[in-house]
Structure 1
Amino acid sequence: MVQQTAFAFMFATLAFLVQPTSAEIIHVHAKRGNLEGVLAELDKGVPLEIRSTNMTSDPGVTPLFVAAKFGKIEVVEELLARGADPTIFFTVPDGLYQTGTALHHASRFGYLDVVEALLDAGADPKSYDRYIATPLHQALRGGHEQVAERLIAAGAPVQVLAPSIASSLSEADVERGQVIATGCEICHGKPSSVRQAGDNGPNLWGIFGKAAASDPTFEYSSYLREAELIWDAETLNHYLYSPYQFLPGTSKIMMGLESDADRAAVIAFLATLAD
């Protein structure tokens, strides 16, 4: 009898511990598209911009973000009508990476109605971060052409170019470029005249001056194949600066090099990788 009572107490305690808090209940409703549940929580006084912890989506986001990410248009429209902010750029609590905006995630999953509602409410189609890029990149990455067209119509830049580094190339530090380029080996493998492709990218030997997407041993994204680029100094400068903005939709996994000197150094090093 005592043992049964102990077990009952333990299970009751565990059940209490796993109950969602007020900070989570509204997010659960938002994720499920349960508008009545969301409104009931707001009527209780739960803040409109209350942040989630870990039970529904990305930690630290608002109910609007959750509803947008899961395409719950009725909840999105109601929260926006009540003043929810569609422009917030979320960062995970530990600051290790950027979560992005509600528009980034609605674009990524192709929810055109949600994207339109967010844009109409003032969401920024130009919103950019090196980690998550732009809503346009996310839409194209997911193959959502209609969403991409809507973002472009709202002002999303189709292509962003880097500042010129023409005057820096003659004085570029080739050795520093080689050091920086070692990070590329994770995907492209070690540069070699054998030109063996890496696990996630073609070998960089002979890349300078070469047509993009021309290595027959590697499968490129359609966006890179159709761009008809030549990897000269100017193109590499734009691409290395921000691949997701220079060529939205590309599958390249790279955060970009914001430093002019670093880009010049890498380009100067790549130019040495030739027979």
Structure 2
Amino acid sequence: MDEMNSRTYVKEWQKTIRLSANTLRERMKSNKIVNLLRIKNVLKRDEEERILKISNERERTTELLLALFNLDFNPIPQLKIALIKTGQSEVLQYLVQQKDETEEADILKSYYGRCFIHLQDDTYVSAKEFQGQIQSLNGKLDKDEWILHLGGGIQITVSSKFPTVDFRQFWKPDESEKALPTKKGISLNRFKWERLCDVMDLIREFVPEIDLAHMCLKTHTDQLELESCKECNPFDQPKDNEDPQYNVCKEDMTDIIETVQIDGIA
């Protein structure tokens, strides 16, 4: 691994590999990972054959990490997916990053452009749609907190007090001027949030139709239609006009939380 340490200039993802190398050599099983990385064109066939010829597990992992370190592009997202596919998701926590940024900034960086979240039926929300808002969060975090409405009263909260991403079902009492959080929700720390995003990237490989999904907010033709939508504007609807579909959305949120907990993310 001397080549990793000898370079005077390295990219951020190369720093991640270098910082994590010792632990990964001890804990990562590289045999199946090498094949998956070759299928995804991260490694060439001759590199795969050369690495797999090494019988010692530690030396084989060392050679794999060195090959990844010398690439011209960032292989870490595909490495994470390969770890999940081979049942080594517990190793993800050892892919550490430089601590030049705060926990809040790390969360927001991992949020950007990576995660699709299912709301109901064929409706998904993509973090890419909020690129401008997310990039401007730093100042807002210093003041109080930042809230993003996903739909149907489900909101994401990022607070300066707690380095977490909080998914929560909100409701609005008759006497209240603003929506209030309920107990239905889940709070993810930095590692759990990144792991959820990695899993969503994995899901997109098997369900490519997600890329064709549209946000409910962007499907309305005028302001009147937007204001009457129970997904985009759930708290200002007439109570005598309850829509069963809105209740289904609440149940979907509970299913999402239970699924995340069962999978060991929570």
TM-score normalised by length of structure 1 = 0.26
> Which structure exhibits the higher relative contact order, with contacts defined as CA atoms closer than 8 Å and separated by 6 or more residues?
2
In terms of fraction of residues, the more strand-rich structure is: 2
In terms of fraction of residues, the more helix-rich structure is: 2
Work out which of the two has the higher radius of gyration on C-alpha atoms and give 1 or 2.
1
